Structure 1
Amino acid sequence: MSLPKDQGMLLLKKQLMELQKKTVDGFSTGLIDDDSYYIWEVVISGPVGSYYEGGYFKAHLTFPEEYPQRPPKLKFISEMWHPNVGKDGFVSISILDEPSDDKLGYERAEERWLPIHTVENIMLCVINMISEPNDASPANADAAKQFREDYDGEFKKQVQRCVRLSQAKL
């Protein structure tokens, strides 16, 4: 069963109001354009204890008209060097994959998008992804290779450069 478009928008409006009332560690969010609840700006704080700590990474969360039946897309606007973030900035994690069975058998259907997921769930998964990259299923093969082969060397340098750039754009 799919919800009419205006019900998806009402759900997004409700989630945004709830997120703005409470403080959630690790990210903040708001609308890019007050006339549209379908594109949000998110600022993610680099997780404590990770190489990303101290960074403030901007991203856009774009919801389809069929939300919540279909997942949003998350794209980093800030430069992000990470195995699970493509060079185009798009995040690749299970929770944002279309709801279906994975033909390659890598993900179970329940690991993918479900209409019960909230923006808070998504963002907490993204923060966890930043802290714990999955180099077995990379969106950025170069970052994954560095992560595996030179974690404390070149990978760390690339991430720290991204952190510095994010701080300069505050």
Structure 2
Amino acid sequence: MSVLLLSFPSFLFGSEDSPPPSPPPTPSFSLFHVSPFSLAESLSLSGCLVDGRDEPSEPAPREAAESDGGYFNAIMSFPANYPNSPPTVRFTSEMWHPNVYPDGRVCISILHPPGEDPNGYELASERWTPVHTVESIVLSIISMLSSPNDESPANVEAAKEWREMRDAFKKKVSRIVRRSQEML
């Protein structure tokens, strides 16, 4: 089994108790891959999105409250014709985000098949190309988590709540973050 551990800054997940820092720190992440098999044999990575620590054993950053950050399991699956086709990323943990489908699939341009968008929403240059890497995918997910695209949502209800009831959205995400921490 492959394991991918991604470490995200806690301000991306918000907290009802503490506003994001101003200006927000530059997002960073750590990437660890442990596998008894090669990527070609397993064709998927599973992992965990966590708070802003560079190493899981480090204490949480001083400015982060305990309710900040979360532990979210995700799987990145690679098709047989990778890198010509994009991988898919699916959270297996509960997520509430405009760009994450209710079943956990991540919806961002970089993961859409190459070529022209049949709906005319995305430029071909925004979609998958074989030069993208796991790192560029992770950076796109970091960006998505901190800046939802509510104009083209995967989860319409989350997008509506993000636009119209931001406090309720933040409270729901904070509850999900706390539950994720309790599952450790």
Cα contact 1:28–1:42 (8 A) shared by 2: no
Of residues 108, 111, 117 in structure 2, which corresponds to 1:102?
117
Aligned partners of 1:88 and 1:124: how far apart in 2? 22
Aligned to 2:85: 70
Cα shift readout 1:95-147 (whole Å, capped 9, x = no counterpart): 00000101221100010000000000000100110000000000000000000
1:125 maps to what in 2? 140
Are residues 39 and 99 of structure 1, via their aligned partners in 2, closer, same or farther at CA, if it must alter by over 3 Å?
Answer: same
Q: What per-residue deviation string (whole Å, max 9, x for no partner) do you get for residues 72-99 of structure 1?
A: 0000011110000000000000000000
Unaligned stretches of 5+ residues in structure 1: 1-15
Q: Take 1:39 and 1:33, find their aligned partners in 2: how far apart are those partners?
A: 13
Specify the alignment match of 1:3 in structure 2. none
SS of 1:166 mapped into structure 2: helix
Identity rate of aligned residues, in percent? 49
Matched, 1:111 2:116: no
Q: Which residue of 2 aligns with 1:164?
A: 178
Normalised by the length of structure 1, the TM-score is 0.77
Task: Identify if the C-alpha distance between structure 1 residues 150 and 98 changes in structure 2 by more than 3 Å, giving closer, same or farther.
Answer: same
Do the aligned partners of residues 33 and 134 (structure 1) sit closer, same or farther apart at CA in structure 2, a change above 3 Å counting? farther
User: 1: CA distance between counterparts of 2:180 and 2:79?
Assistant: 28
SS at match of 1:159: helix
Q: In the alignment, which residue of structure 2 is the partner of 1:155?
A: 169
The residue number in structure 2 matching 1:26 is 29
Give the aligned CA root-mean-square deviation in angstroms: 2.7
Unaligned runs of 5+ in 2: 7-26, 53-60
In structure 2, the residue matched to 1:12 is none
How many Å apart are 1:168 and its aligned residue? 1.6
TM-score normalized by the length of structure 2: 0.71
User: Secondary structure of the equivalent of 1:61?
Assistant: strand
Task: Say whether the 8 Å CA contact 1:26–1:46 is kept in structure 2.
Answer: no
